[in-house]
Amino acid sequence: MIKNILIVDSEANIAASLSFLLEHAGFSVHSACGYEEAMASVNHFCPDLVLMDAVLSDRSGYDLCQSLLALPGFANLPVLMLTTRGLEVEREKALSLGAVDFIVKPFNPAAVLGRVQELVSEAA
Amino acid sequence: MRAYRLPRLRKKLWTVVGATALGQGVVLAGLRFNPFGTVSPTLESLAVAWLISITGVLLVGLIIDRRLARPLVATARGADILASSNPQHHLEITARHWLDRLPDTLEQLGAALVRTQQAFDEAAQAAATKVEARRTRLETILREIRDGVMVCDREGRIQLYNRTTRDLLASEPALGLGRNISEVLNEGPLNHTLRLLVPTHGEAGSADAELVCATASGERLLRCRVARLVTDDPETSGFVMTLQDVSRQTRETLRREQALRDAVESLRNPLTSLNAASESLRLAQQEGLHNETARFVHIIAEENEKLTQRFTTLSDETASMVTDNWRLEDVHLGSLIEGIKVSADAEAIPRLQCRADVWLSAEPYLLSRVIEALLERLRAELGVTALALSGREEGSLVYVDLNWSGDVIAADQLDHWLDGGLEDVGGTVSLREVLQRHDTTAWSQPDLSKEGRAMLRLPLPGAPKKATAVDDVPARPEFYDFAIDDAEPHLGDTADAPLETLDYVVFDCETTGLEPSRGDEIVSIGAVRIHRGRVMHGETFELLANPGRPIPALASSIHGIHDDDVAEAPPVEEVVRRFHAFAGNAVLVGFNTAFDLRFLKLKQRSTGVEFSNPTLDALLLSILLHDHTGEHTMESIAERLGVGVGGRHTALGDSLTTAEIFMRLIDLLPGESIRTLSEAITAQERMIEFRRQQRAF
């Protein structure tokens, strides 16, 4: 069964490339550029994993993470956080607020792809 | 202003004359209106005689008053002035008097006193020369020290500060001798550090400590090194502080750290995007997806552009970091060149014609060595024997041009020069490195304005604009006072403290009119501090205030302050608050103080500050002391007491004149048995009451 991946990133170029790579790897991908768009799409798209930037143009990615996990039926949704902030405390914060992993930009796309595949398998 | 009070001697005279006349009047009335209703010719003659007698008594009283009592009173007052404040005072008496040679003799005594004083001053001067020389040396050292220096007694009262401290704390109106250090620096960190310096039971305190603390106004951040002053006498112990302004440094460090963090973070997204787009491009090409390939090529180009921009920002930031590690100073180019002329071998460099009245931000020694090296090369390799050196400001840069008659320096030749090392710095630093540290380089080009001439152009960072070099501080600023420990009154003792030991702030307000209750406002406040009997010309306050209403032409014609002058000035409330901080707990002194104080007190509610200081009025004290005359304008009092009048009707000018007048009045007050503040205030209140009664009549 094809798994759904929701990408939330305000950087359109990053979202475009990640979408292409994930779709090429066999996932169904939907992109949102911020909090509102992500919240609006989550119910009809029903993601199996969310790949999101910690810094969004409208609100914090952490807010989005908490809001998503609070939605009925999404409490165990795996959220993979991407961030431009390299501080170790950022990782702690992300994990504390519900993310399952945390990847600092810039990253190797293959590594992200591999991690997404792992997390989706674990969730299944 | 005229005010008149009958002196005691004349009161007594007129009491006697009045009583005599009254007695005679009673007798006359008894004779003129006898109970039998008849008037005998004998009695009438007697009455005429009595009338003549009364007139005679009054005439005699008047003559005695004019010729004897008044001149005597004026002579007594004049003698006080001669003895206490102005030995050159000319007695204010009428020409026709019965005092014979007494006034002349007194004036001669005054002249003799002047001569004696001069002789004494000369003797004292000679004796003090050695001490003075040492003190001057100390003052010179303190003045020239780059760091601020401040000495406080063990209570934290400021005993000394140098010019740099004054400049560093220019925004702190409370800075002044005798004021507490906690009024100018943030108390918390300072007290903590001072506690570390105090020996505790069984443990010696630290000899010195360092702290970074903000000024009371929060405008600057200072690095302070505090050391205990250990003397044999615990009464004279205290601490000495050196102060450095680290506001800019701290702000710069924070700004740079933030900029670097931002710059690094800003690289992450383009790099991420590049990685992902490259990988996507590879896949798209592999599978022959032409549209996707074109799309990812476009993304890569976009991200490449972003990366380039962010790299440039990061590069600039890095360059400024390197430069800032050098101690760049404000350097006057003309002075720098003069220094080169003196130090360089005159035969080794071209003759210099210099036009360089501009300021640079540079490391002076290394830059002068670079310019000297370039001059030597020009002379040795191009045979330039004379050149014109000029400095021209343009934006944030100063273009230093060396201009000579002849050929330009070939680019590779100049490169070779710049790569050479500076000899007396161990050859380890090249000219190019020094220029790079100043964020610049040098090049040679033809002088397009004059045929046959070439130039070497060296752009350098300019220094912030210098204020016109007007130094309002006298050559011997009264910034020190080691005598504070001598029975300085504590708060609460002020009332009984001798007047000469108190701190005063003499102030004056210029206003839009005379009626604050009808909307007249302050347009300027001037003030000067008096500390332990000295008018502190270095501790003055002078601020224009924007009254928020037009200044009437009549008011402007008096004080010369017009609407345009106050357009950019802070509002009255701000100026009043700053003056309040300047005044602290000092006794406020003015000339007709009630007028100025009324303006200040009306601002108490809107400013949140309260003027509850004791006040004295130089005008009232003058009337009290010199009741022989009705002349009590500032000019006439100043003339009487031998005080020069300057800057009349400017707030600071009037304050300075009033301060000098006040100092002389204080010298005269003991003659009226007034020695303490409470005695002066009581006498002043008596004067106010007297004037109120006088007005009622």
pLDDT tens track for B280-305: 999 999 998 999 999 999 999 898 88
pLDDT the model gives residue B2: 42
For residues A38 and A6, is the Cβ–Cβ distance under 8 A?
Answer: yes
* β-strands B504-511, B443-446 pairing: unpaired
CA triple B229-B233-B237, angle to 5 deg = 25
pLDDT band at A85 (very low <50, low <70, confident <90, very high): low
Mean pLDDT of B403-421: 87
Q: What is the pTM of this model?
A: 0.50
Looking at the predicted structure, is the pLDDT value of residue B376 above 90?
A: yes
* CA–CA distance, B26 with A37 (Å, rounded to integer): 115
Q: List, for residues B33-67, the tens digit of each pLDDT value.
A: 665 555 555 667 777 777 788 888 888 888 888 88
Q: CATH code at A106?
A: 3.40.50.2300
**What residues of chain A lie within 8 A of the CB of B268, using their CB?**
84, 86, 104-106
Across the interface, whether the CB atoms of B280 and A13 are under 8 A apart is answered: no
* β-strands B587-590, A79-83 pairing: unpaired
* CA–CA distance, B479 with B85 (Å, rounded to integer): 25
For residues B229 and B150, is the Cβ–Cβ distance under 8 A?
Answer: no
Mean pLDDT of B476-503: 59
pLDDT band at B22 (very low <50, low <70, confident <90, very high): confident
**What residues of chain B lie within 8 A of the CB of A24, using their CB?**
280, 283
pLDDT the model gives residue B35: 57
Across the interface, whether the CB atoms of B273 and A11 are under 8 A apart is answered: yes
Best to test chain B binding among A17, A87, A103, A104 (most B CBs inside 10 Å): A17
Closest CA to B501 of B666, B332, B300, B388: B666
pLDDT the model gives residue B354: 87
Residues 287-326 of chain B whose Cβ lies under 8 A from any Cβ of chain A: 292, 295-296, 299, 302-303
Looking at the predicted structure, is the pLDDT value of residue B472 above 50?
A: no
Best to test chain A binding among B264, B273, B287, B306 (most A CBs inside 10 Å): B273
pLDDT the model gives residue B211: 79
Mean pLDDT of A37-41: 93
Q: Tell me the CA distances in angstroms from B486 to B160, B432, B489, B539, B660, one per residue in order.
A: 15, 60, 9, 21, 23
Across the interface, whether the CB atoms of A13 and B292 are under 8 A apart is answered: no
Number of domains making up chain A? 1
B272, B283, B296 member nearest A107 (Cβ): B272
For residues A2 and A24, is the Cβ–Cβ distance under 8 A?
Answer: no
Mean pLDDT of B340-357: 86
Sheet holding A49-53, edge to edge: A28-32, A4-8, A49-53, A79-83, A101-104
For B287-308, the three-class secondary structure string (H helix, E strand, C coil) is: CCCHHHHHHHHHHHHHHHHHHH
Would you tell me how many other CB atoms lie within 10 Å of the CB of residue B230?
A: 13
Tokens of B294: 């074109």
Per-residue DSSP letter, A28: E
Query: Would you say the ipTM is above 0.95?
Result: no
B264, B267, B292 member nearest A20 (Cβ): B292
Looking at the predicted structure, is the pLDDT value of residue B3 above 80?
A: no
Percent of chain B with pLDDT over 90: 19
Count of CA atoms in the C-beta half-sphere (13 A) of B419: 6
Average pLDDT of the residues of chain B: 81
Percent of chain B with pLDDT over 70: 85
CATH topology of domain B145-245: Beta-Lactamase (3.30.450)
Residues 6+ apart with CB under 8 A from B127: none
Q: List, for residues B638-657, the tens digit of each pLDDT value.
A: 888 888 776 667 888 889 99
Range of the domain at A90: 4-123
A vs B, Cβ pairs < 8 A, gives 63
3-state secondary structure of B339: helix
Closest CA to B511 of B564, B549, B567, B568: B549
CA triple B332-B335-B336, angle to 5 deg = 85
pLDDT the model gives residue B327: 60
pLDDT band at B320 (very low <50, low <70, confident <90, very high): low
pLDDT the model gives residue B425: 54
CATH topology of domain B329-461: Heat Shock Protein 90 (3.30.565)
Q: Tell me the CA distances in angstroms from B558 to B552, B553, B612, B650, one per residue in order.
A: 10, 9, 29, 9
Kindly state whether B269 is in contact with chain A, defined as any CB-CB distance less than 8 angstroms: yes
Mean pLDDT of B486-512: 77
B264, B269, B276 member nearest A21 (Cβ): B276
Looking at the predicted structure, is the pLDDT value of residue B467 above 50?
A: no
pLDDT the model gives residue B13: 83
A18, A84, A86 member nearest B276 (Cβ): A18
For residues B364 and B338, is the Cβ–Cβ distance under 8 A?
Answer: no
* CA–CA distance, B315 with B260 (Å, rounded to integer): 10
Closest CA to B512 of B504, B524, B503, B500: B524
| Better pLDDT: B322 or B160 | B160
* β-strands B615-617, B587-590 pairing: parallel
Q: Which CATH number fits domain B494-696: 2.60.40.2130, 1.20.1250.20, 3.30.420.10, 3.40.50.740?
A: 3.30.420.10
Mean pLDDT of B457-464: 84
